[in-house]
Amino acid sequence: MIDTPQIVQTAVQSTAIIRVTVPRAEIQQVMGPGLDELMATLRAQGIVPAGSWFTHHLRMDPATFDFEIGVPVTEPVAAAGRVTNGQLPAATVARDDLPRPYEGLPSAWAEFNAWIAAEGRTAGPSLWQTYVTDPAANPDPTTWLTELTRPLAS
C-alpha cells in the first residue's frame, strides 16, 4: 500500500550513471554488479555521492528494462568504462515513500499509477526509484524505504 503521494516540482540533479538495457528477467543479475561498478568508479575518482542510489527507468516496456543505475553527484565524473554523467530532470512529479521490501514495488507502482490517474494527471514515460535505505547497512527488509517518483505529462 502506498503512503500519501504528493505532487512536487523537482530541480535538475546531476548524476553519475550506468545505462543498462536488459530483458526484464535479467534485472536482478545486473543491478548489484552495476551498482558496485558505479560506486568503485566514484571512489577511484574521490567523488562522494550526494544522496541515495536510484534506478531511472527511461521507458516502460514490459519485456525490456531500459534504465540507469545512478547516484546524485555535485561534481562531474570522468567517464570510465560504463560510468558517465547524467541527470534527473527538472519536472512536476508525483512522489511517494514506500516502506517495504523490494518485492512490493510492482504492486506499489500499480497503486501509485492508479492514484496519479485518479488525480486527473497523466504519467510521463519515465520513472525513478530512490533506495533511501541501504540494505547493506540495514538488512531487515521490513524497514527499507524506497522513494517512488513519476514525472507527469499533464
Mean pLDDT, the chain cut into blocks of 10 residues (154 residues total) = 88 98 93 96 98 93 93 98 97 90 83 95 95 84 89 88
Long-range contacts of 27-30 (CB under 8 A, 24+ apart): 27/65
Quote the distance between the C-alpha of residue 145 and its chain's center: 12
56 in Cβ contact with 128 (< 8 Å): yes
* Predicted local confidence at residue 16, as pLDDT: 98
Which of these, 146, 69, 62, lies nearest to 112 by C-alpha position?
A: 146
What is the distance between the alpha carbons of residues 110 and 118, in angstroms, rounded to a whole number?
12
Half-sphere exposure of 129 (CA within 13 A, CB side): 19
17 in Cβ contact with 68 (< 8 Å): yes
Residue 149, C-beta contacts closer than 8 angstroms, at least 6 positions apart: 10, 93, 94, 95, 127, 128, 129, 130
Total count of residues recorded for the chain:
154
> Cell numbers at residue 79, please?
567517464
* Predicted local confidence at residue 121, as pLDDT: 96
* Predicted local confidence at residue 154, as pLDDT: 64
* Predicted local confidence at residue 91, as pLDDT: 96
